[in-house]
Amino acid sequence: MSLLLSLHLQRGEFCLDIDTAIPSTGITAICGPSGSGKTSLLRCIAGLDTAPSGMVQFAGQDWQTERSLLKTEQRGIGLVFQDAQLFPHLSVMGNLDYARKRQFKKEGPSYDEVCDWLQITPLLNRRVNKLSGGERKRVAIARALLRHPQLLLMDEPLSGLHDSAREHMLDVLQGLPEHLDIPVLYVSHSFHEISRLADHVILIEKGQLIAEGDLISLSTRLDLPLSHQQGAGAVLSARLCNHDLDYGLSTLDVDADHQLTVNHLSAEPGQALRLFVAARDVSISLDAPQHSSIMNILPCTIDTIESHSARSTNAQLTIRLRLNEQFLLARITHKSCDRLQLREGQQVFAQIKTVALINEYGLAQ
């Protein structure tokens, strides 16, 4: 029951031109620079804007054809915008009750479940103008879920939050898929958010789809802008092997030949996990260091050396390293690359500091 889209919308100079099928499970991130058309795409899916020539079909139901247009309220969509758009004259409970009385379908999570997932039970009697930014966002998501939507659309839901509130929200959002069995479309320009949450990614630029696929493969493609962002890195799928309780560490199997030691993870041996390894935390050595404090030294092959980074304007470049079926990214200086005479196909060792690997990204999908 995927979401099928064929949308063509002209607005002055800007042209949105997207044909794609979005998976019916998990979180799909819509990612692109400012002005690329992310919000326009979401609004067309919601029916808030209409691409005059277009088709939107969800789970076999026509939302838009050449001849018909289903109203937004009939599409069964939960909407969460950048600004929470809560009713200011109502309490948190009043806002939630409003949604509960307008449920799209009977089946869906209960009031208590939603309040528990979003950690808002202690806030129920508060007025919404007395909430922090993060609390307002959690109430807005709860309100959307209480409508029992068949599709959840979120447009930069973490914008405007300071770092710690954003990390808390990411923890909350990361837990949602295990409770929800509806697809989520999540608009963001932050690779950090996407790497924490998304299963599938749609990249758009200037209104055009430039790539789509699973996050793990897209995160390390050097031909895409994701790998050139400041916080770029590889998303790896791994399995928890064991814990070293004496030292507060956990060991993960990346594949039959590669293990990573990370800070202690609250997962069970055998559990599938997703791990983010930032490109700036990976360095390259020609030999396996014998006397290094770095525990993660992984034999790998240089797959691609970024070619279009001009050394006069950027001292760094990104290298893609192959570990059997998966890839790491390493960001090093042009000078180191020349000094080590690195070349594609060369066998090298990737070094990653254990303390850099602090993020547990939950169950792999």
CB of 132 to ligand ATP, least distance (A): 23
Specify the stretch interacting with ligand ATP by CB under 6 A; choose among 32-40, 68-76, 95-103, 269-277.
Answer: 32-40
The whole-angstrom separation of Cα 275 and Cα 261 is 11
Q: Which two tokens stand for residue 26?
A: 């998990």
Specify the stretch interacting with ligand ATP by CB under 6 A; choose among 30-38, 95-103, 172-180, 235-243.
Answer: 30-38
Q: Which amino acid is at 55?
A: M
Q: Please give the size of the binding site for ligand ATP, defined by CB under 6 A.
A: 11
CB of 16 to ligand ATP, least distance (A): 7
Q: Is 41 or 262 the residue whose CB approaches ligand ATP more closely?
A: 41
Residue appearing with tokens 């396996």? 288
CB of 340 to ligand ATP, least distance (A): 39
Strand blocks (E) in the chain? 3-11, 14-22, 27-31, 53-58, 61-64, 77-80, 151-155, 184-188, 200-205, 208-214, 233-244, 249-255, 258-263, 272-278, 282-285, 296-305, 316-323, 326-333, 347-352
Question: Quick check: 35 binds ligand ATP (CB under 6 A)?
Answer: yes
Footprint of ligand ATP on residues 279-308 (CB under 6 A)?
Answer: none
Query: Quick count: other Cβ atoms within 10 Å of Cβ 344?
Result: 12
Q: Is 35 or 231 the residue whose CB approaches ligand ATP more closely?
A: 35
Q: Which two tokens stand for residue 55?
A: 């088709």
Question: Quick check: 37 binds ligand ATP (CB under 6 A)?
Answer: yes
CB of 88 closer than 8 Å to CB of 133: no
Question: Quick check: 189 binds ligand ATP (CB under 6 A)?
Answer: yes
Question: Quick check: 190 binds ligand ATP (CB under 6 A)?
Answer: no
Question: Quick check: 40 binds ligand ATP (CB under 6 A)?
Answer: yes
- Residues with Cβ within 8 Å of residue 339, at least 6 apart in sequence: none
Q: Is 194 or 330 the residue whose CB approaches ligand ATP more closely?
A: 194
Footprint of ligand ATP on residues 214-233 (CB under 6 A)?
Answer: none
CB of 133 to ligand ATP, least distance (A): 18
The whole-angstrom separation of Cα 19 and Cα 4 is 8
Best CA proximity match to 202, nearest among 224, 222, 182:
224
Question: Quick check: 38 binds ligand ATP (CB under 6 A)?
Answer: yes
Question: Quick check: 159 binds ligand ATP (CB under 6 A)?
Answer: no
Specify the stretch interacting with ligand ATP by CB under 6 A; choose among 31-39, 93-101, 320-328, 334-342.
Answer: 31-39
> How buried is residue 286: exposed, middle or buried, by Cβ count under 10 Å (0-12/13-18/19+)?
exposed
Q: Is 69 or 249 the residue whose CB approaches ligand ATP more closely?
A: 69
**Bridge partner residues of 239 (DSSP):** 253, 272
- Residues with Cβ within 8 Å of residue 111, at least 6 apart in sequence: 96, 100, 146
CB of 288 closer than 8 Å to CB of 274: no
CB of 318 to ligand ATP, least distance (A): 24
CB of 245 to ligand ATP, least distance (A): 44
Q: Is 14 or 247 the residue whose CB approaches ligand ATP more closely?
A: 14
Footprint of ligand ATP on residues 238-267 (CB under 6 A)?
Answer: none
Question: Quick check: 39 binds ligand ATP (CB under 6 A)?
Answer: yes
Question: Quick check: 14 binds ligand ATP (CB under 6 A)?
Answer: yes
CB of 18 to ligand ATP, least distance (A): 11
CB of 301 to ligand ATP, least distance (A): 37
CB of 318 closer than 8 Å to CB of 301: no
The residues of the shown chain that bind ligand ATP, judged by CB under 6 A, are 11, 14, 32, 34-40, 189
